[in-house]
Chains A and B, each alone.
Chain A
Amino acid sequence: MTHRLLQEEDMQKENLGEVLRKHPFVGNLGEKYLQTLVGCAKNVHYKEGEYLCHEGEAADWFFLIRSGRIALEIHAGHKGKRRVQTIGPGEVLGWSWLISPYRWHFDGCAVAEVGALALDGKCLRTKCDKDHDFGYEMLKRLSDVFQSRMEATRLQLLDVYGSR
């Protein structure tokens, strides 16, 4: 991971499985595939103000958020840093690990202390390539994330609170 982990608990693998199971992204995933995820997961914490990812860096990890809040930031030239969205408990941060060229498209800053499960995207990519059924499961779940983000972005673009 290119970013700093503040604390990494030595969580037992079976315990990690239970924690993963509680996250909506994992939910009803079959036991075999859950174990695949467990093999690539770590429990991580970030303090307020710390960054989970930086634009342009290798997207080797993605995060299932358990607590706290992360602001997605984009550098908008002379307008400076713009926060375009926040991600919170039960949500997923990052899909660039699955899409070439596997680079983050924004910065992710913890605006409230974050507890998350970090999943090794590189490791999962290899597993997706080897087992297409598993890859399809991951894609289906991420497609739900794409869809809801796209819907939200469209609504944001409408600027519904504007005067005209």
Chain B
Amino acid sequence: MSQPYSAEVDVLADPMLPELQIIRRIVWETDDTFTLQLENLNHGARKFLFLPGQFNMLYVFGIGESAISISSDPSKTNMLSHTIHRVGTVTNALASMKRGDIIGLRGPFGSNWPIETANGLDVCIVAGGIGLAPLRPVLYSLFRRRRDYGRVLLLYGARSPLDLLYRVELEQWSKQYDVEVLVTVDRSDSTWKGYIGVVPNLFSYIKLDARATLAMVCGPEVMMEYTIAEILRRGVPPEQIYLSMERNMKCAVGFCGHCQYGPKFICKDGPVFGLPQISGFFGKKEI
């Protein structure tokens, strides 16, 4: 579901042909999660235009491809960031790469978060774990036009304080951009003074103007299920709730069927969906 948005999006001549990217920087966010900053090897040949929520296929030569959300600022078109959780063969191979190494990239693919639809509304962003990565471009976009939006809330959960992504930025955002940031962790020792508990619990500590709120949710599916139930309980209409889904992707253009999700393909119709688009099968264990 593509949302109208002022930025342009790159359309590759051949979406199956990777372009070469050089790794300019590697930032380890946590023990098992890192951010790669990439620059097109044909520097200046083409800017990288994308919409918040879209993803790329990153290709480690001789190993394989993996679908990774773009986590950088959409207005910065000469450099791309991807925050990656090392969980499988490709992401482990990416984790072992060094500055100056070359990888392939296809994209951007998929639908985007409804930044324009959120105009004039309060925006409630709910992220769990690595789910903050595809939402970071949303935050950058909101900050650029902060006055166009009402309250901006970020509810974020992770396994432990050491697993929190973008720790420095989290502090900056609340100070610089008038964002209400609530962070919770599933477990901790006594050094952590923040919230402990699951993300849906954080809704106990905020008040939402339900009709004037647009919610964007990204995280593990079960976390999204409970979170969306909480958002609905607070009266936010389903058509104002968006979520990003994840399935194993291969082609990224809706040919191979690996990421089929009921009648949808996550790569082509998603990953960002409005809740009504998938409410018939969201949370169903068979799908």
Contact = CB atoms under 8 A, between A and B. Distances in A.
A90 B206 CA distance: 10
B187 interface: yes
A156 B32 CA distance: 20
Given A152-B201, A161-B129, A73 B190 contact: yes
Interface residues of B, number: 33
Contacts of A90: 204-205
B177 interface: no
Interface in A130-164: 148, 151-152, 155-156, 158-164
B198 A156 contact: yes
Contact of A83 (B128, B130, B192, B204): B192
B159 interface: yes
Q: Chain A: interface secondary structure?
A: mixed
Interface string B25-42: 000000010000000000
Contacts of A80: 189
A161 B204 contact: no
A7 interface: no
A161 B164 CA distance: 11
B205 A161 contact: no
Interface string B95-134: 0000000000000000000000000000000001110000
Interface stretch (B11-19, B70-78, B146-154, B218-226): B218-226
Chain B interface SS verdict (over half): mixed
Contact of B222 (A91, A152, A155): A155
Interface in B54-94: 85-87
A86 interface: yes
Interface residues of A, number: 30
> Which of A86, A88, A90, A148 neighbours the largest number of chain B CB atoms within 10 Å of its CB?
A86
A68 B220 CA distance: 29
Contacts of A71: 190, 196
B200 A85 contact: no
Contacts of B130: 161
Interface in A92-123: 109, 111-112
Nearest to B192: A83
A152 B157 CA distance: 13
A86 B226 contact: no
A155 B223 contact: yes
Given A88-B204, A161-B158, A161-B163, A111 B193 contact: yes
A127 interface: no
A81 to B, nearest CB: 6
Contacts of B186: 156, 159, 161
Interface of B: 32, 85-87, 128-130, 157-159, 163, 184, 186-190, 192-198, 200-201, 204-205, 219-220, 222-223, 226
The 9 A-B residue pairs whose C-beta atoms are closest, nearest first, are A161-B129, A160-B220, A161-B159, A155-B198, A86-B196, A152-B198, A163-B87, A111-B193, A86-B195
Interface of A: 69, 71-73, 80-86, 88-91, 109, 111-112, 148, 151-152, 155-156, 158-164
